[in-house]
Amino acid sequence: MAKQQNHMLIATLSTEPQGITRVLDWLLARGYPIGEVVVVHTVGAAIEPALNVVTAEFAAGVYPGIRYRSVVVGGEQGPVADIRSAADAGALLQTLYRALRQARQLGWPIHLSITSGRKTMAVYGMVAAQLLFGEQDHVWHMIATNPSGVIDKRLHAGEDAGLEMVEVPVLRWVDAGTAAALLELDDPWAALQRQRALTQGEAARRAKEFLAHWLTKRERELALLLVRTGLDNAGLARELGKGEQTVANQLTAVYKKFEEWQGWELDAVNTRAALVAVLRPFVGEG
């Protein structure tokens, strides 16, 4: 039998160590073959006790066969004690991005836990996931279901602990090909710039395709005039030397094709506005 591929748990840490151990317990109980755990944390004094507890669990052999390492959030000024500035937030994004990128380069399915840690950690973790994640990767969050509001803080607890794991949907910004290109970049800000450029280039290509291949010559002339000028039907008719009803009929055909191209179904007013909004960035003034 072929050896099952290892998965990696990457988790942010707060002052509550059970935010790490319970997520790991839950994943293991459901058969996910976690081979390595990476804990991303700041170096504030409030975090140190929780980090020591988690580290001790692995040192004591509670999770045999699972590698463990901790990664300090750090930037140009060194380790970050807390997320209190734009520079701290930038260091956090870079640290999370690099941790996820390393796992992706190894080809390991990733489980990103945003259960523990500041809200800022969860937000930037999602940004990194949107840039890098593939279909095999997951984001998890733990929510309290106990109506009493009392949180069970045991490191290891059963299904009756009043907590539930939920998967957080990841809206990926890139397709598989673009994601591979982003993996070449070690800097998340450079990855974001490349993602924007690639997305803009793809949008321009699709807009050109719609105008060139979906519309007749007369429909294209009308659509371009509408996008460039924003005129109403009467104004468009005057500019083109056509009857207003002819313009209305041609626009109806353009709208129908635009909706089919986009996979949308809107009313005429909204379709007109959407057509202009989508095409205007790629249509010159002349």
CA neighbor of 178 nearest in space, from 139, 125, 136, 131: 131
3-state secondary structure of 80: coil
Q: What are phi and psi of 74, to 5 degrees?
A: -145, 150
Are 31 and 147 part of one and the same domain? yes
SS3 for 208-226 is HHHHHHHCCHHHHHHHHHH
List the Cα angle 87/96/8 in 5-degree steps: 165
Provide the token pair at 108: 């390991």
- Pairing type for strands 138-144 and 163-167 reads antiparallel
Tell me which of 172, 200, 225 is where a domain ends. Answer: 172
Same domain, 233 and 151: no
Considering the domain architecture, whether residues 66 and 141 belong to the same structural domain is answered as yes
- Based on the domain organization, do 163 and 241 belong to the same domain? no
Q: How big is the chain, counted in residues?
A: 286
**pLDDT value, residue 285:** 54
Q: 71 has which bridge partners?
A: 40
Q: Is residue 239 part of a domain?
A: yes
**Which tokens is 134 given?**
């593939």
Of 172, 205, 226, the last residue of a domain is 172
Distance, in Å, from the CA atom of 240 to the CA atom of 225, rounded to the nearest integer, reads 9
In a domain, 194, yes or no: no
Asked if residue 232 and residue 152 are part of one domain, the reply reads no
Q: Is there a contact between 143 and 164 (Cβ–Cβ < 8 Å)?
A: yes
Number of domains, the chain:
2
Q: Would you tell me the crossing angle of helices 18-29 and 48-59 to the nearest 10 degrees?
A: 40
Q: Give the residue from 71, 102, 129, 95 showing the smallest Cα distance to 8.
A: 102
Cβ within 8 Å of residue 250, ≥6 positions away: 218, 219, 222
Predicted local distance difference test score (pLDDT) of residue 137: 93
Q: Is residue 183 part of a domain?
A: no
220 shares a domain with 155? no
Give yes or no for a contact between 88 and 50, defined as CB atoms under 8 angstroms apart: no
Q: Which residues of the chain have pLDDT under 70?
A: 1-4, 147-151, 159-161, 173-186, 189, 192, 195-199, 201, 266-269, 284-286
pLDDT at 281: 85
Q: pTM for this one?
A: 0.67
Domain membership flag for residue 94 = yes
One domain for residues 163 and 231: no
Tokens of 162: 């009043």
Q: Do 31 and 109 share a domain, yes or no?
A: yes
Q: Using CA atoms, how far apart are residues 227 and 213, in angstroms rounded to an integer? A: 17
Together in a domain, 250 and 137: no
Residues 167, 234, single domain; the answer is no
d(CA 32, CA 45): 33
Q: Report if residue 78 sits inside a domain.
A: yes
Neighbours of 277 (CB within 10 A): 10
What's 29's domain CATH number?
3.40.50.10770
Domain membership flag for residue 181: no
Structural domain for 231, as ranges: 215-282
Phi-psi region of 259 (alpha: psi -120 to 50; beta: other; left: phi over 0): alpha
Cβ–Cβ under 8 Å, residues 142 and 156: no
Looking at the domain assignment, is residue 201 inside a domain? no
Residues 98 and 230 in one domain: no
Q: 25 with 141, same domain?
A: yes
Domain-located, residue 178: no
| pLDDT value of residue 286 | 45
Picking from 204, 182, 177, the residue whose alpha carbon sits closest to that of residue 193 is 182
